[in-house]
Structure 1
Amino acid sequence: MKTERAKEIYQSKDTFSVRLEGKPVWIENVDETNGMATVQIESNPLNTATVSVDRLQEED
């Protein structure tokens, strides 16, 4: 995924299906400067990770 798209999803009021290595994630923040995103993994607020946005995949 590109940084611009991750930012669009993060700012949208709509819900998008995004995955990290096959696991569903919720984008909590996007660092455009560094191309990184903080995500919540599998709806668990205690399970977060900061990853490169190019590791995220949007499902159709």
Structure 2
Amino acid sequence: MNVHRAQEILAADEKIEVSLNGLSVWIDSVDAAKSMVKVHVEENPSDARIVPAQELEEVH
């Protein structure tokens, strides 16, 4: 996923499914300058990570 799409998903009113290595995650914040995204695992909010936007996949 590109960083622009991550920003769109973060700002969206509806829930858009996103995965990281097969895990369902929520986007918490986006650092466009560094193309990094802070996410947490949906079932475990304490499992937060900062990852490159390219590692995220939108689930259709």
Give TM-score, length-normalised by structure 1.
0.95
From the two aligned structures, give the one with the greater strand fraction: 2
5+ residue gaps, structure 1? none
| Percentage of matched positions with identical amino acids | 35
Give TM-score, length-normalised by structure 2.
0.95
Structure-2 residue corresponding to 1:39: 39
5+ residue gaps, structure 2? none
Structure-1 residue corresponding to 2:54: 54
RMSD: 0.7
CA drift at 1:28: 0.3
Moved over 3 A (4+): none
CA drift at 1:44: 1.3
Structure-1 residue corresponding to 2:26: 26
Distance 1:26 1:57 in 2: 12
Amino acid at match of 1:50: I
Contact 1:26 1:43 in 2 (8 A): no
The number of aligned residues is 60
